[in-house]
Amino acid sequence: MKPLLIVGSYLSPYVRKVLVCLELKGIPYEVDPIVPFYGNDRFSELSPLRRVPVLVDGDLVVTDSSVICQYLEELQPSPSLLPTNIRDRARARALLDVWLEAATALAQVRWAAGEMDRLLDATDEPVWTVSAKGIWLWATDLAPARVAALTAAGRVDEAARFVAAFARGLRGRDAPAPRAALANCRALLAAARLGPTRATASAFGRAAAAWDKLPRPYDSLLARERQALCLIEIDHIPTGLHLLTTAFRGFAELGARTDVDRVAVALATHGSRGRRSGRTRAA
Ligand SMILES: N[C@@H](CCC(=O)N[C@@H](CS)C(=O)NCC(=O)O)C(=O)O
């Protein structure tokens, strides 16, 4: 099967939703990671509303993540991502496409803005629904946000119980994207429990590697950044600065300007420590 083409930046939660579907179904794909708001005339032809994601399958062009996922479901029915009964299917679509998706997007916005109290509020109900319905496969973007919110609020034990429930929910499932999210949750939990230690840095390294495999470069870079900051804190300065520089370049390539600015500040702050330090230690 010729790989499908997904046009759209990894920064977009809608693109990521489609990538999760592709991963779960094991459909080969390639990504043209254009930055939202920038595309050229060719992009306008593909996506008249100039929105990502767009799926290109030969001469077929499909826009809108929900429509794309529906197409993928029909293109390759197994494994099905929806219940078999049509009434349950309608309920599932309403829940996932209309409600959970919007709730997850809002959580991402709150997290990116560092609004941790609001992130906690924004994740309360969706997380309750995911766990009550056991739809953990859909928690890829929600779960790390929840762990970040709980740990920021000092509710570390609750975060640990949530991560354990997420792990149980994925048991026996071949689901690379949710598993990468689980690795990310574990790293966030380690950071809250242990602070910046070698173990925490390794946990972020594992999360980054899991995101890389998918690939989900934006999530991988966020994890690398955390790994780098951890390493710098525990005096593995050259390795940390190297990783931070890699993250800086990666964010720049993706057009993630806020992240570029944040990492630039970290590099400027810690760069001088790097110059003072002659030590090199492995992570
Ligand atoms: N309902 C659409 C929403 C897609 C969407 O809003 N994508 C954003 C990126 S996260 C975008 O392309 N925004 C550019 C714009 O609206 O001009 C879907 O599910 O695909």
Contact 92, 121 (CB under 8 A): no
Pick the residue with more confidence: 231 or 11? 231
Whether 89 shows a pLDDT value over 60: the answer reads yes
Question: What three-state secondary structure class fits 215?
Answer: coil
Q: Rounded to an integer, what distance in angstroms lies between the CA atom of residue 155 and that of residue 152? A: 7
Q: What is the pLDDT of residue 20?
A: 86
Q: Rounded to an integer, what distance in angstroms lies between the CA atom of residue 208 and that of residue 244? A: 13
Q: What ligand 1 atom has the least distance to the C-alpha of 12?
A: 10
Whether 276 shows a pLDDT value over 70: the answer reads no
Residue 279's pLDDT band, with cuts at 50, 70 and 90, is: very low
Residue nearest ligand 1's atom 15 by CA:
51
The alpha carbon of 51 and the centre of ligand 1 are apart by a number of angstroms equal to 4
Question: What three-state secondary structure class fits 56?
Answer: strand
Q: Rounded to an integer, what distance in angstroms lies between the CA atom of residue 56 and that of residue 103? A: 27
Stated pTM of the model: 0.80
**pLDDT tens, residue by residue, 163-183:** 999 999 999 988 888 999 999
Nearest to 254 by CA among 15, 46, 60, 24: 15
- Give residues with Cβ within 8 angstroms of 108, minimum separation 6: 13, 141, 145
Q: What is the pLDDT of residue 280?
A: 41
User: Looking up tokens 């998918």, which residue turns up?
Assistant: 214
The alpha carbon of 63 and the centre of ligand 1 are apart by a number of angstroms equal to 10
How many residues in total does the chain contain? Answer: 283
Contact 259, 221 (CB under 8 A): yes
The alpha carbon of 52 and the centre of ligand 1 are apart by a number of angstroms equal to 5
Structure tokens at 219: 């999530």
Nearest to 223 by CA among 240, 204, 210: 204
**pLDDT tens, residue by residue, 24-46:** 899 999 999 887 566 677 888 88
Whether 283 shows a pLDDT value over 80: the answer reads no
Q: What ligand 1 atom has the least distance to the C-alpha of 63?
A: 20
Q: Which of 35, 40, 52, 109 to mutate to test the pocket of ligand 1 (most atoms within 8 A of CB)?
A: 52
Pick the residue with more confidence: 86 or 281? 86
Q: What ligand 1 atom has the least distance to the C-alpha of 53?
A: 20
Q: What is the pLDDT of residue 36?
A: 58
264 backbone φψ class: left, alpha, beta (φ>0; ψ -120 to 50): alpha
CATH of 84-191, one of 1.20.58, 1.25.40, 1.10.1740, 2.60.40: 1.25.40
Q: Rounded to an integer, what distance in angstroms lies between the CA atom of residue 182 and that of residue 52? A: 26
**pLDDT tens, residue by residue, 61-83:** 999 999 999 999 999 999 998 88
As for ligand 1, residues whose beta carbon falls within 6 Å of it are: 12-14, 36-37, 50-53, 64-66
Q: Rounded to an integer, what distance in angstroms lies between the CA atom of residue 70 and that of residue 276? A: 56
Q: What is the pLDDT of residue 60?
A: 97
Structure tokens at 258: 């806020």
What is the DSSP secondary structure assignment for residue 96, as one 8-state letter? I
The alpha carbon of 49 and the centre of ligand 1 are apart by a number of angstroms equal to 8
Q: Rounded to an integer, what distance in angstroms lies between the CA atom of residue 162 and that of residue 139? A: 11
The alpha carbon of 217 and the centre of ligand 1 are apart by a number of angstroms equal to 19
Percent of the chain having pLDDT more than 90? 72
Which class is 1-81 in CATH? alpha beta
Residue 184: is it exposed, middle or buried by C-beta count within 10 angstroms (0-12/13-18/19+)?
Answer: buried
User: For the chain, what are the domain ranges?
Assistant: 1-81, 84-191, 195-283
Residue nearest ligand 1's atom 13 by CA:
51
Query: β-pairing, 60-63 with 29-32?
Result: unpaired
**pLDDT tens, residue by residue, 184-195:** 999 999 999 999
The alpha carbon of 224 and the centre of ligand 1 are apart by a number of angstroms equal to 27
Contact 128, 142 (CB under 8 A): no
User: Can you tell me the mean pLDDT for 125-151?
Assistant: 94
The alpha carbon of 194 and the centre of ligand 1 are apart by a number of angstroms equal to 38
268 backbone φψ class: left, alpha, beta (φ>0; ψ -120 to 50): alpha
